[in-house]
Amino acid sequence: MPAIVETFRSTDGTERYLIAGNDGQTVETVWMPEGDGGEEGDSSPDEARRGSDAKKEWSRATICVSSQIGCAVNCQFCLTARLGIIRNLTAGEIAGQVAAVLRRQDAEPGRDRINLCLWGWASRS
């Protein structure tokens, strides 16, 4: 399980994690409670069962995970862009980000509604 080195929390409940890999490099992973709010009628049976006694402050969340260390886009405002692209993450490193955040949030796929998004670029540009 990768270690969460640092956590940054926003007033809206979004948490940004700096997660360390085995090689000492770090990536960012973001937890966004409530996701996009869903669409009308978009609720799961689990939400209805949990009802008002739910322990969680969220009913739907999104985890955005990194697919690379560094970035090839070179946006001038972004500190990660200054690194350039260092390397692609392995499937295990990507899954590890998800597992670390799920554990920290006490979330369970199949019980809780969790969306995943993956950011990164497939090649050097």
Q: Which domain holds residue 24?
A: 3-119
Residue 72 lies in a domain: yes
Residue 124 forms part of a structural domain: no
Q: pTM of the prediction?
A: 0.74
SS3 45: helix
Decide if 44 contacts 113 (C-beta within 8 A): yes
The answer to whether residue 125 sits within a structural domain is no
CATH code at position 26: 3.20.20.70
Could you give the number of structural domains in the chain?
1
SS3 at position 11: coil
The pLDDT tens digits of the residues spanning 35-90 come to 555 444 444 444 443 443 445 677 889 999 999 988 877 777 777 777 788 899 99
